[in-house]
Amino acid sequence: MSETVWPTLTDLQAWRHDFHRHPETAFEEHRTSGIVAELLEGWGLEVHTGLAGTGVVGVLRGARGDGPSIGLRADMDALHVTELNDVPHASVNTGRMHACGHDGHTTMLLGGARVLASNPDFAGTVHFIFQPAEENEGGARAMIEDGLFERFPMQAVYSMHNWPGLPVGAAAVHSGPVMAAFDIFNLTLTGKGCHAAMPHLGKDTLLAACQLVTQLPALISREQEAHKPAILSVTSFNAGDTYNVMPEQVKLRGTVRCFDMEQRSRIEQRFRDVIEATAKLHGLEAELDYRVSYPATINSPEHAEVCAEILTGLLGAASVRRELPPSMASEDFSFMSQACPGVYIWMGNGEDSASLHNPKYDFNDRVLPLGVRYWVELTLGLLRDGKLPAAK
């Protein structure tokens, strides 16, 4: 067997800081994916570019011959956030920032590829999946539509996200739901604008919209079972711009999140009912654009047990949290774990870490070597030590 090459912390930091300085948002990750592809090629992987535009898949075959195949996935995109960190690697792309740590995710998966490529002591195939556009745009779905699972068949797929609030050196593994489903809505109410002193001559859109802001969340608190978590938030309300005019139009936006797909469609139906009834009550036109976005991310329980076992070996049993509630935030990894069994774990980014999407967030460099070791030990556990659960 060849000598195993582990990237040093300095190597990992250099990659991560470079990605952090040059953040690219959804489907524009040209520089980032170019670097990823070049590094993978340099280490001898078979590299496929252009999936969903900027997606990259690196294929590594084990030295022990044929066997099952798995996918390891990282996201590469940044956010439309203006960085407030005063660090040498701060973003040079104004208005764009790696505020969700995808720079760290990309780096850790590169590290795993580096190690495994230097000594592929396993049987089977690893697909290193670097996806674009996790934030809002569903890059995972776009890669699947581009033939990810047909071109690179795999029995299971794995991913991780850094987790502020969880100590460095700790991880969380959920058996079942881990991240919520995510829908968004845009609603335009059109009435009849009029003089504010003569409201009887108009159709009041503001009053109706205010009723909706209080009524819609009650679809959760009064109609959904309390033990099934769900959220409906109106997050944007735009209307009017002066003192003496009743506005003709109001625009509302917001989001709905839950874990159960049947519950999701019930909420959507009742949402539509309430909008229609309220519009009728006030004599308004309602134009609703309700977009079913990401499904819930549900970990395969048997595969999650293997990940927990690997993490226990790496971090110690006390640092592998199994009891944390799932997050109401969402993840487009859900499209991948719908298509084949998957596990999405959380890696602690530190109790003092700024929260995800905060302008002062920064991925914790101390997590980088842990993430690399997780990818390596997971792959060896699955493809060398026979821990991959049998396909059903």
Beta-bridge mates of residue 294: 182
Note whether 368 and 16 are within 8 A (CB): yes
* Min dist. Cβ of residue 182 to Zn ion (A): 11
Nearest to 239 by CA among 294, 265, 271, 202: 202
Closer by beta carbon to Zn ion, 122 or else 130? 130
Among the residue ranges 48-56, 94-102, 311-319, 335-343, the one whose residues contact Zn ion (CB under 5 A): 94-102
Residues that contact Zn ion, how many (by CB under 5 A): 1
Note whether 262 and 333 are within 8 A (CB): no
Among the residue ranges 43-51, 92-100, 107-115, 367-375, the one whose residues contact Zn ion (CB under 5 A): 92-100
Closer by beta carbon to Zn ion, 97 or else 275? 97
State how far Cα 288 lies from the chain centre: 26
Binding characters for Zn ion, 33-72, by CB under 5 A (x = yes)? ----------------------------------------
How far apart CA 280 and CA 335 sit, in angstroms, is 37
Closer by beta carbon to Zn ion, 206 or else 329? 329
* Min dist. Cβ of residue 222 to Zn ion (A): 31
Closer by beta carbon to Zn ion, 100 or else 109? 100
Note whether 363 and 104 are within 8 A (CB): yes
* Min dist. Cβ of residue 101 to Zn ion (A): 6
* Min dist. Cβ of residue 226 to Zn ion (A): 28
* DSSP structure string for 67-101: --EEEEEEE---BS------STT--SSTT-B--SS
Among the residue ranges 99-107, 230-238, 244-252, 320-328, the one whose residues contact Zn ion (CB under 5 A): 99-107
How far apart CA 157 and CA 100 sit, in angstroms, is 21
CB environment 82-118: b (16+ within 10 A), e (fewer)? ebebeeebebebeebbbbbbbbbbbbbbbbbbbbbbb
Note whether 115 and 372 are within 8 A (CB): yes
Binding characters for Zn ion, 350-369, by CB under 5 A (x = yes)? --------------------
How far apart CA 62 and CA 382 sit, in angstroms, is 12
Closer by beta carbon to Zn ion, 80 or else 280? 80
Among the residue ranges 12-20, 96-104, 232-240, 361-369, the one whose residues contact Zn ion (CB under 5 A): 96-104
Closer by beta carbon to Zn ion, 234 or else 329? 329
Q: Does 347 bind Zn ion (CB under 5 A)?
A: no
How far apart CA 46 and CA 60 sit, in angstroms, is 7
* Min dist. Cβ of residue 102 to Zn ion (A): 6
Phi, psi of 77 (to 5 degrees): -85, 155
Residue nearest to Zn ion (CB): 100
Among the residue ranges 65-73, 100-108, 143-151, 195-203, the one whose residues contact Zn ion (CB under 5 A): 100-108
* Min dist. Cβ of residue 164 to Zn ion (A): 11
Nearest to 233 by CA among 217, 250, 215: 217
* Min dist. Cβ of residue 61 to Zn ion (A): 30
Which position among 100, 170, 212, 232 is part of the footprint of Zn ion (CB under 5 A)? Answer: 100
Residues 258-317 that bind Zn ion (CB under 5 A): none
* Min dist. Cβ of residue 299 to Zn ion (A): 17
* Min dist. Cβ of residue 162 to Zn ion (A): 8
Residues 6+ apart with CB under 8 A from 277: none
Contacts to Zn ion by CB under 5 A? 100
